[in-house]
Amino acid sequence: MAASRSSSAGKLTTTQRHQMELERKVGDMLGTFVGLGRHQRSVLLELWREEHVEFLVQKGLRRLGASYSVLDSSRPWLCYWSLHSLALLGESFNLELGDDVIEFLERCQDSGGGYGGGPGQMPHLATTYAAVCALVTLGGAKALGSINREKMLQFLTRMKDSSGGFRLHEGGEMDVRGCYTAIAVAHILGILTPTITYKVNEFVVSCQTYEGGIGGEPGAEAHGGYTFCGLAALILTNQMEGLDLPSLLKWAAKRQGKVEGGFQGRTNKLVDGCYSFWQGGIFPLIQHVIPRLVSQLPVFRNHLLHPADENDVLHMCCKVKTCLESKKTGFVHDNSINSCISGEEDEGTSEPNIQITRTRIEGKESPPIMSAETLFPLKFHGSYQNITDAQQHSTDCFSKEDEQTKHGAAQGLSTFNQDSCFVRPFFNTQALQAYVLICCQVLEGGLIDKPGKPRDFYHTCYCLSGLSTAQHPTWLQAEACPSESDVLGPSCNLLEPTHPLCNVHFERYLEARSFFNDLSL
């Protein structure tokens, strides 16, 4: 996000000032990083696992501070944030701790289905999602068997609105969060019925804005969290019709800060560590629907009037890949992606800007700022040695797409259609990892929103989720190991993979799907 423009009167807005202050703070941290010796830089790029585990267990699951009383209605979330973070860090759960969590969440489960924010509280879709994900993360028959699927289906059905959306609780508000949480829970539990999926597409598409992202409700501003939720809900239900994927991709790609390397949640907002997942997690989902993305590009639409073969699609995929993963620059060239999405050709190319960023403050040029764009340029290192290999894989994956369409949501997408993910991620994964590791870690454990903010379990969870997403860029099968170049810093930084649609530990997700598929309502 550039903050170099001043108002017509030559004065900066409050938003611009805050952006410049953050860029300066992050730039100073990156500048200090560059000036250190190799060993010191290695320490700063290391994920401080032991400290994070101690924070999550001793300060979270075992004993919460008094300040957390304001989250009394979000207690299943506290369980999920802590357990999921520990799972990504590769920690196992002892039997006593697991039993305590199961017993507590059983007291949060409503007799009519769903989970409330605490014992005796009304069931809510958000805390229901959190409780189910926490139990899935624990794994095992006791945890999974504690979920009342029959009552859950009744609860989800009651929350369903005729518009296609979901109310978050009885008589409550209706937004894209409701669609995602309801559908993700139904998907995991194997109760994704036609009633649940009815007209979800219509509601989500009505929330897509002129910018390309998705807002919480029709007419609302595009937001990273809602965009992830909306896109994931449509993929889970196999209802992608009507969603403008090129504009969504363009909007999401522009949310990554050039100086910071992290993501902002909305236009003209500061980067925030939690959007490492909510925004960074959008790109693996787009990888899943590359053929549909390509079919919407203007330069390809003419082919839709006649039978198009795989070569057409492959060439367009390569063009998209070239635009978004250029070897020459650390971030997407606006003119490249614009021309690809609009169908207009560039009039020449410009040299990439790899210089230290300068901003102008009320007409005066500020001192140079070190940027993540400079330190961690995007490098293309695709999975294929040549176009022939990619073409063969492309042909295979497009032939399999028809088979998946036949089965759709009933198949559960349990392997996330791994074969379609042959295009590398559409964002700078190295810069994002640098933001999380250098700017968001607290020495005493836990992760934060941005430098200067306090640590908490929410940001710890989603910073680690985003870090895992960035380390596993091609979303192959769960047991596949990313290449050394995918992981910034020492190899011990590698986290466990999280499922890109549900954000639970990948192997625990597969275990839960298998467990519930063997049950009947």
How many whole angstroms separate alpha carbon 55 and alpha carbon 50?
A: 9
**Pairing label, strands 364-365, 360-361:** antiparallel
Q: Are 205 and 182 in contact (CB under 8 A)?
A: no
Return the structure tokens found at 491. Answer: 């190899």
Beta strand ranges found along 325-414 (DSSP E): 360-361, 364-365
Contacts of 115 (CB under 8 A, 6+ apart): 76, 105, 108, 109, 123, 124, 127, 128, 130, 131, 132
Cα separation, 411 vs 100, in Å, equals 33
- Within 10 Å of residue 240's Cβ, how many Cβ atoms? 17
Give the integer Cα–Cα distance in Å for 182 and 160: 9
Q: Which residues contact 113 (CB under 8 A, 6 or more apart)?
A: 123, 148, 150, 151, 152, 153, 154, 155, 156, 158
Q: What is the dihedral of CA 225, 226, 227, 231, to 10 degrees?
A: 110
**Which residues have a catalytic role annotated?**
223, 266, 269, 272, 274-275, 449, 456, 459
By C-alpha distance, which of 474, 515, 476, 471 is closest to 496?
Answer: 471
- Six-digit token string for 431: 């810069």
Q: Show the tokens assigned to 255.
A: 């949310």
- Spatial separation of the C-alpha atoms in residues 349 and 141, rounded to whole Å: 58
241 neighbors 199 (Cβ within 8 angstroms): no
